[in-house]
Each structure stands twice: as C-alpha cells, then as structure tokens.
Structure 1
C-alpha cells in the first residue's frame, strides 16, 4: 500500500508540474509605429513582475508568460499598450503617437534622450517651426527671446555682424562667457574672430553664422551645470544643442518628401533720429564749417550770421554760402567748377539718403525619405542666403549643403552620420569705434561720420572723392574728417569662410538592455580676412593699408559611450551611460599687413612700402571620462548622479586634471497622490533640484614663458641677425583652473486640463579662483602674469509660462508663451592688492570693471565733481568740473527681461506677435551724446535760451551762472564728464509680427503639394528706449565693445535693422 501511495503521489506531482509549465509559454510578436514601421527598443514587461525584454531592430520580441497575465508595452513618445495573454502565442502591437509625451522627451548632454519629467534641471527646447523662414540668417538672432535665461545681443544691425550670447550671467572676468555649441553631437566652434579690436575695426562674424536656421530640426538649451556636466570644462557656460535635419534623419517617411521654402525681405535701418531742420552748421548761432550744428537759423536774413562765407541770397531768399569743396585748397583744386558758386544754406535729408533699403532672399530645399521597412533613411538640404545690408557696401552671402543618413544593419549595428558644407562671404565698410569728432586709433567709421553730419551739408549731393589724387573730399577747412561715402568706396573688411563639419557614428546592440556607440566628428574652417583702405583718407591709416590673413580652426572630436537600462525590481529601474572623449583644437593665423600705398587704387601687397607678418598659433587637447546613472522609482521619483574628469593639455601636470561631480533629482507628487489633481485644477506637478560643477581653463600657454623670434631686429654688416626676446608675460606653472559650482531648484506644473504650464527655476552659481592678469614690476623682466584670485556669484530666477487661452480644435485658438529672467552677477572678492580689475574698455580708463561688492562689469569713468554734501560743482564759467579718476558711473546689467509671444489661429490662418522688454541696465552712448551734443536732433531746438546747471559754485553757493546752448550741449553733454553720457537702457520692442495662411489639405489633394503655407512677417518693426532723449530714437540693445565680456558701451557702432517681407513653404 505504501508503495502504491508513493507512486500515486509522484504521478500527481508530475501532473501538477506539467499543468503549471503548460500555463507559461513563449509569446512573440512584432511592434510597429502608427505608420507600420518597426519599433526597436520597445520595453515589454509582464505586468506585476520583473520579467521583461525589449524589441529588436526589426521590432520583434519574445517573452515567456502565462495565460491571463498582462503584457505592458512602453516606448518614449508612444502611448502605453496593454495586452492580455490568451490562447494565441503571437501578439502583434501597433503603437500610437503620444503628442504630449513627445513634447516631454528632450535631448540632453552627449545626445542622451531622457524624459523631461526625470530631469532635475531646466532645459529649453525650440523647434524648427520657430526657426525657419526668418529674415535673420544668424541662428543666434533667430533664437533671441525664445528661452529664459539666455541673453542675446547683436553688435549692430550690419548684416553678418557678430552676436553675443550669455546664459545665466557672466561668471568669468578674463575667460570666455560664451556657451558651447554642439551640432549633431559634435563640438562646433562659435568663435568671433573680429578683424580688429573694438577700437580699430570691430568687423567680424560669429561663426555660428555658418549654420542655416532652415536646416535645423530642433535646439535644446542646457542652462545649468547639472545639465551640462557631461561636457566638462567646455560646457561651463551652458550648452546649445543643435540637431540638424540631417542629424534627425531617422523617422523619415517611406515616401520621399521634398520641402521648398523661399523668402524675400526688405532690410532697412530700424529707426533714424528725429533731426531738427531749424539750424545748420556752426557755433553760437554763427555759421562755420564745423562738426557742430549750432549755426544760424535756416530762415536767417542777416548776412553777418555767415561771416566771410556769405555769398548772397538766391531768388527764393535762401542764403548762399561758400561751396563746401572750396574750403580747402587741395580739395578746391580738384573742383574748379565750384569756385565762386554759392551753396544753398538749407536743411538736407543727408542721413536718410545715405542709407538704402537692402534686399534679403533666402532659398531652402530639403529632401528626406526612408526604405519601406524604415531601416534606411536619408535627409539632404541646400540653402542659399543673399543679404544686402541697409548700409552701402555691406553684403552677406551664404551657401550651405547638408546630408545625413541612418542605416540599421542586420547584425545589430546601426550606422548614421552627417556632412555639412558652408561657404560664407561677409563684406562690410569699416565701423570702428567713434566719438563725435572721428574714429579711434587707426580705424575708420562709416556710422561715426554719418550721424554727426550737419543738417546744412548735402552728404549725398556733394562730391566725395578728389579727382586729382583720389583722396577724400568733405566740407571742413582742414579736410580732416573722412567723407563716409569715400569710406564706402575705398575701404572694406571681408571675411570669406569655407567650412566643413559633420560626424560618423556606429552603434552596436550588445543585448536588449545594453549598447555601445562610437562617434567621430570634425569641424574645420578657413576664414580668409581681407581689410583695406586706399591712401587719401583723413584719419587712421591716411597713407593706406592692406591686410590679408587666414584663420584656420580644426576640432577633432571622438566619443566612445556605453549605454544601458535595466529593471532592478518591479518598481525601480536604472539607466546609465559611461564614456570617454578626446577633443583636439588647433587654431592658426597667418597673414601680412602692408602700409604706405604707392599707387592709389591698387590693393596688392607689392603696392605697399612696408610689410609686417601676422602669425599666431595655438592648440589644446582635452581628454575626458564621464559617467551618469539615473534611478527611477515607479515613474514619480528620479535621481541622477553624474561626473566627469578632464585632462587639459595647456596647464601644468599638477593642475591639468579636474573632476566635476553633479547630482539632480525630480519628484512628481501628482503621480503619487491622485487627490492633488483635477481636470479643472492642477494636472501635473514636478519638483526638481540639481547641483553641478565645472571649471574654466585659460587659453594659449599661460604656464610657460614665451619667446619671441625676430629675424630682422639686428643687423651686422648689412646682414639680418635673428634674435630672441622673452615675452613680457611671466608664465605661472601654479595657475589653476577657475572652479564653478551651481545649485538649481525649480518646479514644473500644468493646470486647467493642461491649458496652462508654468516652469520656475532658481539658481545660484559661484566661480572661484578667477584667472586674471596681474601687473608686475618691470624690474623683474616681465610686466604681467596670470594668477588666481577672487569670486563671482550669479543668482537668478527664470519663469516660463505657456497658456492656451482659447482652445478649439476646429475653430479659433489663442495661445500665449512668455519667459521672464532676472539675474545678478556680483563680484564678491578680487583679492587684497587691487581696488578693481578692468574687464573691457580703454587701458586703465573708461570701461567695465570688477569691483568688490558691486555687480559684474560696472562702468567706471570720470564724473562731475561733488562737494562734501554731494552737490555737483561748476567752474567759473558755469560748466561742470570733471573730477579725474575712476568712479562708478553706471551698472550695465539689466534688472530683468521679459518676452511675450501671442498666437491667434483660425482655420488655416495664424497670426503671431512677439514683444520683448528689458528693464534697467545703463548704457554709455556716444551716439546719443553726439546727436545731442552736436545740436542735431529736435531735443536741442530750444537753443536761444540760456541754461543754468544744477549744482553749486566752488565757493559752495548755489549756481546761478548762465551758459548758452553750445556750452550746455557741446561742452557738457558731448565732451563733459563721462557720467553725463550714461543713460538708462530700458527698452520695449516689437520683435516680430507674422500672418500665415496654410492651404487646406483637401484643396491640395489633386495637386503635387502635400502642404502649402504663405507667410508675411516683419522683425524689429518698432522699439522704444525709455531712458534716452526721445528724438534720438536710439536702440539701447547696442553692443559697442563687440562679442566678449564688455557690455553697456556704444561708440557710434551702428543702428539696428528691421526687416519685413514674405515667405512661401511647400512640400511635395
């Protein structure tokens, strides 16, 4: 019996086991997207267990599960799918796009895609629809106002001129504060290689001008150090991640699609001053061929007002004066036909007629497609830009070609890559810094000479070039001011750039959860610079000069990265990335500068007497190793830990290696407590925090002593003897990198059925061990060295708001997007042996400075002398006394900035209006002071009265000394203490207006078009600067010190531009 029972029990156990195993079986299937294309990398999990897998490159999967269990299919950008296991062993799934989820997926550092809810830091995303068909060919200017925390300023309105970009404030005194550009995963040089400094030239483009905005799929802005940590030292100022259409070639339609767009815009000066037409050239109501405009009334009938220049009156009663070509004997010899000819003393529209309306045309063609199974895709793009500036002699032409593709191979390899070519040709007349009586240094200034032309001089009607020798001809007796029309005809700066950039990437799927990729990228350009001016000018290089030099820059970048993702438990998952990078940057400058032109008009080096070589080389290698791990818990809590170590070649061995840790976390309480959410209340809430670090390394070779070789310094027996001399800069082998750390917290929320979204960020960023130049006693054999001192701290708040005020799927819609930024950079410490450190400006004089306890870059200069009670002090003639020395005369940093964009749409129509406002921030403006100080604009019409300046005399009694108009405007405003030329920079701007119409698809069904959109738009159509005299119409967003760390200064560097026109976009 016992034996029979044992046998029966064994049989029963076997049967139970057999039945159990029979319930678990292998389930297989194929997963596709909404277009029927395979979806690789879809997560498949048996719900309620840790049993999971991923689909392969063909979308196929296999998993073991039991009847009655539920399979959960999840994929970024797709709606979750659940399937109950039944009798069938095959479960195929077609997933649907989740529009909201797609918006929540962003590209982060090193090209890693992550869900936005998992990020512990702020990221701003701008799509192609906000970048295409714009009048500006500069991607930075197109990006302006579209992301909080990002400050973008154009140097002026010259087509092709440079653009300054600052993310989350200034953190370095001597180093670059410009962000890192990454294009399709590869570092991209955005340097501005100006053709001269801000004094002598200030011409030059920022090299991101080589990117066609029409070829961009998306831009992601990584603002903080936690976001940019994996880029190491290169990402310390934030990162602008650009994905081109070639780089996003995956996901293309199986049917080839061609997109064509054509834009035509008019390009004008944004606003001219309101010139007064009551008084002409002269001083104290007496005529003279002067810079100033304080001469007699145009209605004068008194010959004595014109002195010896009076010729008579014409038949209309208009005074006739000596012809301007006859004021100088040399000029008069070239124009004998004007001898004894009277010149009408009347107002002329001389400035308005000097400028022109330029034409901007832009053409873009894009083709994309993929194989039937979606495994092979391609994208090709061509763009052409022809931009004629509003200034004569200014043009910008650019050709771009880009291709990209992706191939999923059968052996678990995926290959993708891009290749781009850009040819950019930028030409501009010289626009050197200028005050109200000419340009600085060796430069020439078109704008400087145009804007203070007296109203009684017909700039465009008078001859500008002496036919005898080709020299400039103008109205002054000394012929000592260069005619701007002569400058346009005889001087120019040209940057001609050929550039190639791209990448090749190969990835291999090791397992369903693990893959590795290798990427190599190159960015190479040669920038041909040509600067010239014929002899015969009135200032600067009056005997002519010719300069040619090439800037070549190469970046080789290599990355090897391992990526993985695993379920640790049913509730806890991990994804990780680990990699190594190598980046080599080589810059070389080679050329010649020639002076003393022999034959007028021949701009070749052999036609100049003196030649000086231009030569400079630098290189840097950076090797980095990085890692990142993200832990996710139940889809509502995330923790990311990351770090990177850089080894930088141009520092001493003990200081060239540095490690940057970072950590960030996010928590989604609305995913935990259902009671927090309601359809008409709160829909989503995320709280995040992040900490990141980085470092800044000086360029060049700061730790070594330099040696200069001059083969012609000495001669012996008529033979040149090469000689060496030590550099004046002492190398500092103990120099350390600047160290930066940042704490960031924020919230992201959505309300009212996702109609309103609000994103708020607070950050605190500190830089220590600032690298600055320290003067040395010349007796040491050196004049300066670089050293580490001080601390700069930036604190700020960023707010992004989006609201669908009216939402109607088939009717009228109104949406609003706004971003607000307020940040403050403070200099906490500059060391114990200095009162201030100059950041930009004139050596030891007017400029931006670091002053302990004050905002970064405060403006220092001369001021009005004060008495013990802080009253202004005047001299015996009633004018202000200038107190010599350096005093704080302004703070150029804006208090806050606001951008608001409204979009109204109905059926196929869409109307958009974008406004921008900057509050505060002082600007030292030579344009304003010149227009006022020279008596040119309507604010100076009241000039027959006397003025009494507020203040006290030197004996302390109240000032009661009357001064005339020229003493007030000219002697004090234009050429008085420098603080009188500082104005509040607050400005309101209508950044863009557009009206677009998209033809309904039904009307296109029998045409070759897939879509057709016509848009009329205008950019920078109106602005109002509140802190300057109304009649100057001055744009306070000017950036007179060029790209760099200088801000809040303007030296007649040029007005801004406005554009208006139309564009057509069609797909086939």
Structure 2
C-alpha cells in the first residue's frame, strides 16, 4: 500500500470520528456549519476535511510589579477572543488557553507583557512601569473624562495613593502642597475645624464669595457654613463641611482651574471646581480590608516668653517709668500677693497636652464583570491638647454598586454615604491666655484638688472650660447614575443626587465658669442653640455622541441641571434653668428668645454643552458653554450665559518629532472664557425685615433691614491661560509651565448710601474689577526605576499677583480705608514706623501727609501686601523591595502679621523675650519702647500706632516637612493575606525665621495646627 492510500485511509477514518465527535458542531469547517462541505457529503464526493483541535489547558500564575509586590486588577486576555480574566487581590489568575496561544497582561501605567503558552501550566509575570502610559491616564473633568495628554484645560490631580499616606481627617489637608495654584490654609489645631482654600487667588471682594465648587461623584456639595459663630466660639472656625467625607473613601481629587475646565459649570465655577471621586467596587473575588491607626498630636511651636525673673523686672521697671512709687493693691504679681519665686510655663500647662487619635476602617469589595460592589465603614476619634474631656468623633459608612447589562448597553452606578459627627470643644480657646498669663500666677488647683481662686485674686483659666460647644452633624449623601447606549456612538446618561445635612450646635455657659465667691447661680446660666437642616435634590440628564472618522474624532455633549436646595434654621438663646444639669434642655429654661428662624429656598437650573474635535491626535479644539439660572437674583437678571474655548497642539506627534529620542511628549494649549458667581446668599435682592427691640402697646413691630434692588445680577470672571507640557526621555522628565490671568468684575458689594435713607448700603453690582495672574510650574522626574529600587520626585511652584484694577467711587465708599486701586485686595493699610525716639523712649511713625498731626486718615496709608509671593511643594517617593518612603516639603514665601499681646510691654501680661531689649534711659538706641503699665497715656498711644504699623509685618516664609510616611509590606507567608505596617507624620518639622508661633496659621490667638505622628496596620485578605 502506498503512502497516498495510507493517508487517504487515515484521513477518512479521522473524518468519520469527527462526524460523531461533540466538537464537530463547533468546528467552523464541519459539514454542519459549512454548506459547501455539507453539499459535498450529500453528493457522496470523496472529500475529506479535518481541522486539528488543540488541547485546552488551565494556565495559572501570579503577577507582580518590579518591586515584587503583587498586582490585583491586572487584565489577562487572549487577543482576538472573548477569553479574559483579571488578577485577584493576591495578584493571581487562572485562564484556559491552547498551547501556542498568546496571553497579554495589561495594567494602566505599566508596559504590556506578552507571553506565549507552552507546555508549562504556571506563568508568573512581572510588569514594569511605563512613564509614557501616564499620558493615557483618564482625568475627570466633571461632566466628561479625557485622557491627560488630550486635555485642553488646566486640571490638577491627586489619587488615593497620596491621600492614604497622610494621617488627616479632612480631604483639604491632604491637598496641601501637592497642587500648583491651590493655596490651602488650616484654620487651627481644633479637631473638626475648617480650612481656607483659594484656587488661583481671590476673585471676589466679598469674603464669602471665594469658595470653590465641590462636586462629589457628580453631585454638588455646598461649602456654605452651616453654623453660627455664637455657638462655636471656641473653635477657630465652624466645623468644616468637608469633614463629612472620609479621606480613605476617596479614589481621586481633581481641581479644575482655568476657563476651559470650569466654564461648563457656569456660575458655580468662577473660583475653581474641586471634583471628589469616591472609591468604586472592582470585579474579582471578594476582598476584605482592615486598617487601624493610632497616634498623638501636640503643638509644634511655642513662643519664647519671659520667665518669672524677667517678667517681674519688666513690671517693676514699668512702674518706675510711669512714676508710680507704690504698687497698686490689685497688682498681685508684683506686690507680694503671689509667690514671686513661682514659675509656670503656661503654654505647656494649658495647650501643651497630647491629643490622642484612633482610626479604624474596614471594607469589603468584589463582584463579577457585570456587577461590582464596595462597602466600607470607619470610626475616628480625636481628643485635644487642652485640658478637659473634649473630643471629636466621626463614624462613616460608604457604599458603591455598579451594574452592567449583558449586552453592555445599560449601566447603573449608585454611591451613598452617611456620616455622624459629634464634636465637643471648649468654648474658650486657652491659647491666648497661655501666652499672656503672668508666669508667677498661682497653681490651678488648691491642696484639696479644687479649682484655686487664690483668695479671689486669681481668675482660674480652667473654670472657663466648664463652658463648651457641641456640634452634632448628620450627613447623608446619595448619587445614582444611569447610562444607556442607544447606538454605538450615542449614549444617554442621567444623574440623580440627594444630600441631607442636619447640624445641631449648642454653646453652654453654666454658672460654674465664675468664682463661687460671686454667688452666681444656675439661674444666670445661658445656652445658645442652633439647628440647621439643608436638603438638596439634583437632576441632570445628559446626551453624549462620539464619532470616530478616518483621521479625527468628534465628541458632543449636551445636558441640563435642575437643583433645589432648602435650608431651615433656628437660632435661640435660653437661660434661667433650675440646675446646670438641665442646661442642655431648652424646655427647662424659664427665659427663651428666638434670635433667628427662617426657611430659605434656592433654585438653580442650567443647560450646558461641549464640543470636542480631535484631528490626527495632534490638533484639539474644545468648546464649552452653559446657560445658568439662579433664584438669588432679581427678575430679568436671573439668567446668564458663560462659555470657554480651549485648544491644544500635540506637537510631539508631528512627523519631524515622532522619532525623537529626547522629546517623548510635547503639547501647547490655550484657553479663554467666562464664568460667573452667585455665592451671595439667598434673597439678597429683596426687601427684608426683622423684629425690632421697640414695641408699641406691647406689640412688637418690624423694621426694614435691606432695600429691594431688582438689578442685582451676576458677578462674572474672564479667564485666559497659555501652557506648555513637555516630556523627555520617555517621560522620565515631565515639565508643565502655565501662565494665567483672571479678571472678575461686576462685583456684588454694598454701595454706600446717605444716612438720610435709613440704610448704610445697598446690595448692588459695582464696576470694580479684580485681577489675578501668575505662573505655575510642575516637574516630575523618574530618577531611578529598577527592579528593587525606584525613586520619583514631584515638584510644583506657583507665583501669583492679585490686583484691584478698578473701583469707581472708591474714595467715597466704605472701602476707602481698605482698598487701593492698583494694589492687591489682601493689603492692609499701616503707619510707617520710624523707630524709637532715643530721647522720649516712645515709638514713632511717619507723618505721611506732612500736616504735623498723626492720625489714621492722613497717615495710616502705607500698604503692605500679605499675599504669598510664591508657594509650592517638593515630594519624593522611594521604593526598595518591601519598603516605601514618601515625604513632602511644603514651602511659602510670604509676609505675615507678627505676634503681639495687644498691649505694650509693662502691663500685667507676659511678653516675648524679644521685649527684653527695650529702651531704658535717654540716649538708648533700642528696637522697643520703654515699659509702661498703661498709666502713661503717651506710651499707650505710641504703642497703638506701633501695633498698626509696618513694624508688625514680618517675614513669615517657611519650609515645612508637611508629611512623611514609611510603609513596610510584611512578608507573612500566608496565602491570600497581605499586611502593611506604616509610620506617618504630619506637620513634622518647620524651618522659619518667624517668632510668632506657626507661620502658616495667621491667627495668633487660636490653637495652631498640631504636629501628628501615627502608627498603623493594614490587612488585605
């Protein structure tokens, strides 16, 4: 038998087997699926067709990065098929593939790895980071997302990797020093306190008109203060609204800065937009996480104050200078009533305690390709450095669910969070007293352990701690996004949002704050009570059409916004309780006074659109617009239109540069547009009335408090920017430089009125214009990137200039002594200090107008700018095998007000040790005037002018080790369990010439931000 006949025999034999094989129905070359072959069989032709079936095998393995750390979420796919999987929490995968098939491993920010399946059933893969892939990172721009390399606007971003390394309770603290153009200042060291944030300067002349817009998962979150200063006196500011957001629940924070990025938010984007995206569930096996940290906080810097010997010498010399021979009876510190050898460091005694911090968090997540979920919860507690039982507690729950239909056309995403905050803080901040109390003041407690009043000669500072403020906040946040793909290029999306905030504040002033010898009873106790509830409902339908052509892409977005916000407030004062134990019960008070009660409604609607055109991935044009309507303005002024145009040229994609070995990426971008501002509060254009203290025949009347102005309209802000982005050496060096100019006009301020009208001002638009311009530079470098060691550096610096360009009628307005055209809006007017007169020993200031008289109107005219000249951050990240080290230096170049106890040296108030170098006798050349007890009126007047002079404006520049984190991945050797240990520090070390305390914190009479150290453990299983 020849070879051909043998081949035909085996071919027909195998064909016969294939006809009865269960695989024949899936074989594309079988008779049942190939009509041509089927017909051949039916005709009885001798046709034999056979396709070899490759044996399927189960491939398993582990994916790690170049540091040996397992990588969950890595996609493993067989190209050209639907066969794919992702790695689990331990970086492990399992997939079925034929021998000879190709597996592609991919993960954002890493180079793809291709592996051919051989005889081995175990495939372990290591992924290397790809700097160029950073350009492919998707950036959240609010209503749309865009690749970082293709954005035409200015957007700064930090991720959970940066946030989780900081032991902070407020998301704004996590942003400090990490974003160019974003200036953030913490308002104090009180737990739960507020922050100030300015994005590219101050646009509005109103202090409350410069807050950015906060968006959480697509839902606006009001930044308006919900408290009253009367009920939160002990705090530097009322509780920050953003304390309701647990930083560990955040996936990323993007800050939109220029017109191109913010104009789509119209009237709400004038001061920038902060987009907060919470964490979402990811497909894969169910994963659990448990994080726990504990730490301590202390005041980082104390003032150098006089000791007892120095203090008493100052006091005695003051009496000599004032010509007083005998010490007054109430001069207890120097007349022998108090022990003159006693010394207490009151800063350590009153604010030198240790705040304790505990934080525990748990999470569970997982799901399939169609549905993913995440549930997390946290509990945080912080005590204070001030003596007493004061603390801040926060309990938070976060949930997210995503679902995709089998055909991938319908998607739904739901996010929700509920936060409980309970904050109890002293109603009196002891910081100022700790710096001014005489160092030989008596002990706080007597021999029996009771508060010491030293025979009624001492006002014990601890008694004031019996008065405290409580803030109880409940915050509910929900968001649902429904998306449906009508056509391959057309998508309908609807965003629903609901937020509810309930805030209850009380400030209690019991009779126990006073010396018992004064016989003050509980009938004299007082309580201030404030309850605020805010509800907001949002509905946003959107339509997105995207079409790819041969050489270009067109992306069109249209949508609308409808929002309604209702705020209810009641502010009451009560007193006359039978016992201090009942002071928190409003019903037990015999005296009740409703100080304020109102319900306000805010309605907002808008239509917005975006057109983005990308040609050859080189030339990009982005146009956005919004038609806004707000109930806060009068009839005919409620609607306004805002828009912007952005353009980008990715010149590195030009043929001449594509093959460059040095330049890996290059882009020029520009934008111009206008945004608006309606942050003016509700009903500001209407006539308003309030109850009067006068009554007629027992009937309380109403009196007008505001005049009606139907022409009250929008503030507007025009913005222009030009920027260059460049990457070198495969983006191992990436540089961005931007120049911008923002001009805000049509300012919403009070126009002064003649007193004969019965009103001092009229709320109206003024043709005043404020300009902010500056430059921003960011630099990222990959210094080393090896298997066991990696080092990256991030640097940013911003230099800004603020100026009042125009203010018609300024000289005749109430702002005449506040602003100067051509100068920054942050200036203060001061006297020009000329020194201490060697003959009189008194401070002197210049007679600027030369009229021979020193007064504020004519001579307090020198301007000092308190705007930071530049600020930024310098971050380094190191990885060595299982170790990670991350530290951030924050720096600011600025001038600030120096510390002063508000009285001249010589009063019964402790002073800085710098005051030891004071004038003593005629002919002395000294920086400080002679001591005085206040009896010398000339010395008191001289000090008052000195305190309001340029001598009090000093260099407040600093470099601060803002954050440091050391993380170690503990090799447990237990399958499925990962453990990380961490040490973290915040406000660790400060380098500055400033002697007035903390150079960042400009309120010297309040508790400064604390230095915090924590230790933590993180388990994933």
Is the TM-score greater than 0.5?
A: yes
1:176-191 pair list within 5 angstroms: 176-191=209-224
Query: Shift in Å at residue 381 of structure 1?
Result: 0.9
The number of equivalent residue pairs is 883
Structure 2 residue corresponding to 1:1055, chosen from 1008, 1013, 1020: 1008
Query: Shift in Å at residue 781 of structure 1?
Result: 3.6
Question: What RMSD over aligned residues (CA atoms) do the two structures have, in Å?
Answer: 3.9
Q: Deviations over 1:136-191 (max 9, x none)?
A: 20111111111111011111111111111110000001252111111111111233
1:138 matched residue in structure 2: 170
Equivalent residues of 2:895, 2:953 under 8 A apart: no
1:212 matched residue in structure 2: 246
Kindly tell me: are residues 464 and 253 of structure 1, through their superposed partners in 2, closer, same or farther at Cα, counting changes over 3 Å? farther
**Is the counterpart of residue 502 in structure 1 residue 473 in structure 2?**
no
1:227-626 pair list within 5 angstroms: 227-245=261-279, 248-249=280-281, 252-277=282-307, 279=309, 282=312, 284-286=314-316, 322=336, 324=338, 343=339, 345-355=341-351, 356-371=353-368, 374-393=369-388, 394-410=390-406, 412-431=409-428, 445-461=429-445, 473=453, 477=457, 483-488=460-465, 490-535=466-511, 537=513, 543-567=524-548, 569-595=549-575, 599=579, 602-603=582-583, 604-605=585-586, 606-607=588-589, 609=591, 611-626=593-608
Name the SS of the counterpart of 1:834 in structure 2. helix
Query: Shift in Å at residue 725 of structure 1?
Result: 2.5
1:333 matched residue in structure 2: none
Q: Deviations over 1:738-768 (max 9, x none)?
A: 1111001101111123211111111100011
Name the SS of the counterpart of 2:636 in structure 1. helix
Kindly tell me: are residues 624 and 948 of structure 1, through their superposed partners in 2, closer, same or farther at Cα, counting changes over 3 Å? farther
Equivalent residues of 1:865, 1:873 under 8 A apart: no
Equivalent residues of 2:347, 2:434 under 8 A apart: yes
Structure 1 residue corresponding to 2:721, chosen from 744, 748, 758: 744
Q: For 2:497 and 2:131, how far apart are their aligned partners in 1?
A: 32
Structure 1 residue corresponding to 2:771, chosen from 777, 783, 793: 793
Q: For 1:259 and 1:682, how far apart are their aligned partners in 2?
A: 42
Kindly tell me: are residues 650 and 663 of structure 1, through their superposed partners in 2, closer, same or farther at Cα, counting changes over 3 Å? same
Structure 2 residue corresponding to 1:193, chosen from 226, 235, 246: 226
Q: For 1:225 and 1:454, how far apart are their aligned partners in 2?
A: 55
1:170 matched residue in structure 2: 202
Name the SS of the counterpart of 1:653 in structure 2. coil
Query: Shift in Å at residue 109 of structure 1?
Result: 3.5
User: Which piece of structure 1 moves more, 942-951 or 910-919?
Assistant: 942-951
Equivalent residues of 1:120, 1:665 under 8 A apart: yes
Q: For 1:369 and 1:102, how far apart are their aligned partners in 2?
A: 26
**Is the counterpart of residue 850 in structure 1 residue 809 in structure 2?**
no
Kindly tell me: are residues 615 and 100 of structure 1, through their superposed partners in 2, closer, same or farther at Cα, counting changes over 3 Å? farther
**Is the counterpart of residue 124 in structure 1 residue 156 in structure 2?**
yes
Name the SS of the counterpart of 2:229 in structure 1. coil
2:736 matched residue in structure 1: 759
1:649 matched residue in structure 2: 631
Name the SS of the counterpart of 1:256 in structure 2. strand
Kindly tell me: are residues 970 and 889 of structure 1, through their superposed partners in 2, closer, same or farther at Cα, counting changes over 3 Å? farther
2:70 matched residue in structure 1: none
Kindly tell me: are residues 643 and 163 of structure 1, through their superposed partners in 2, closer, same or farther at Cα, counting changes over 3 Å? same
Kindly tell me: are residues 483 and 37 of structure 1, through their superposed partners in 2, closer, same or farther at Cα, counting changes over 3 Å? farther
Query: Shift in Å at residue 1004 of structure 1?
Result: 4.4
Q: For 1:558 and 1:1005, how far apart are their aligned partners in 2?
A: 50
Kindly tell me: are residues 700 and 982 of structure 1, through their superposed partners in 2, closer, same or farther at Cα, counting changes over 3 Å? same
Q: Deviations over 1:264-321 (max 9, x none)?
A: 110111111223325265575439xxxxxx799xxxxxxx99898999xxxxxxx997
Equivalent residues of 2:709, 2:763 under 8 A apart: yes
Q: For 1:257 and 1:267, how far apart are their aligned partners in 2?
A: 33
**Is the counterpart of residue 640 in structure 1 residue 607 in structure 2?**
no
Name the SS of the counterpart of 1:487 in structure 2. helix
Q: Deviations over 1:723-742 (max 9, x none)?
A: 33322x21211122111110
1:897 matched residue in structure 2: 871
Structure 2 residue corresponding to 1:884, chosen from 836, 853, 856: 856
Q: For 2:930 and 2:435, how far apart are their aligned partners in 1?
A: 26
In structure 2, the gaps of 5 or more residues are 1-72, 83-105, 115-126, 846-853
1:827 matched residue in structure 2: 804
Q: For 1:38 and 1:228, how far apart are their aligned partners in 2?
A: 41
Name the SS of the counterpart of 1:209 in structure 2. helix
2:75 matched residue in structure 1: 35
Q: Deviations over 1:421-452 (max 9, x none)?
A: 00011221135xxxxxxxxxxxxx42222221
Q: For 2:819 and 2:682, how far apart are their aligned partners in 1?
A: 23
Q: For 1:310 and 1:169, how far apart are their aligned partners in 2?
A: 49
Q: For 2:350 and 2:285, how far apart are their aligned partners in 1?
A: 52
Equivalent residues of 2:361, 2:377 under 8 A apart: yes
Q: Deviations over 1:945-1000 (max 9, x none)?
A: 5486879xxxxxxx9x984587999875678441243323212212122221123x
Equivalent residues of 1:533, 1:544 under 8 A apart: yes
Query: Shift in Å at residue 353 of structure 1?
Result: 2.3
Equivalent residues of 1:549, 1:614 under 8 A apart: no
Q: For 1:282 and 1:307, how far apart are their aligned partners in 2?
A: 15
Q: Deviations over 1:335-375 (max 9, x none)?
A: xxxxxxxx46232223212231111011111211012xx11
Structure 2 residue corresponding to 1:779, chosen from 756, 759, 767: 756
Equivalent residues of 1:527, 1:550 under 8 A apart: yes
Structure 2 residue corresponding to 1:770, chosen from 742, 747, 755: 747
2:3 matched residue in structure 1: none
Kindly tell me: are residues 131 and 930 of structure 1, through their superposed partners in 2, closer, same or farther at Cα, counting changes over 3 Å? farther
Kindly tell me: are residues 309 and 625 of structure 1, through their superposed partners in 2, closer, same or farther at Cα, counting changes over 3 Å? closer
Kindly tell me: are residues 260 and 514 of structure 1, through their superposed partners in 2, closer, same or farther at Cα, counting changes over 3 Å? same
What's the TM-score once normalised by structure 1's chain length?
0.76
Kindly tell me: are residues 1039 and 310 of structure 1, through their superposed partners in 2, closer, same or farther at Cα, counting changes over 3 Å? closer
1:61 matched residue in structure 2: none
1:978 matched residue in structure 2: 948
Structure 1 residue corresponding to 2:960, chosen from 986, 989, 1011: 989
**Is the counterpart of residue 1012 in structure 1 residue 979 in structure 2?**
yes
Q: For 1:180 and 1:932, how far apart are their aligned partners in 2?
A: 49
What's the TM-score once normalised by structure 2's chain length?
0.79
Q: For 1:929 and 1:971, how far apart are their aligned partners in 2?
A: 10
Kindly tell me: are residues 607 and 652 of structure 1, through their superposed partners in 2, closer, same or farther at Cα, counting changes over 3 Å? closer
Kindly tell me: are residues 618 and 451 of structure 1, through their superposed partners in 2, closer, same or farther at Cα, counting changes over 3 Å? same
Query: Shift in Å at residue 548 of structure 1?
Result: 1.0
Query: Shift in Å at residue 824 of structure 1?
Result: 1.2
2:912 matched residue in structure 1: 937
Equivalent residues of 1:363, 1:384 under 8 A apart: yes
Query: Shift in Å at residue 939 of structure 1?
Result: 2.3
1:155 matched residue in structure 2: 187
Name the SS of the counterpart of 2:263 in structure 1. helix
1:440 matched residue in structure 2: none
Query: Shift in Å at residue 688 of structure 1?
Result: 0.6
Q: Deviations over 1:395-420 (max 9, x none)?
A: 21100001011111246321111110
Query: Shift in Å at residue 817 of structure 1?
Result: 0.9
Equivalent residues of 2:538, 2:564 under 8 A apart: yes
Q: Deviations over 1:164-222 (max 9, x none)?
A: 11100000012521111111111112333343179966441111011000111111111
Name the SS of the counterpart of 1:1021 in structure 2. strand
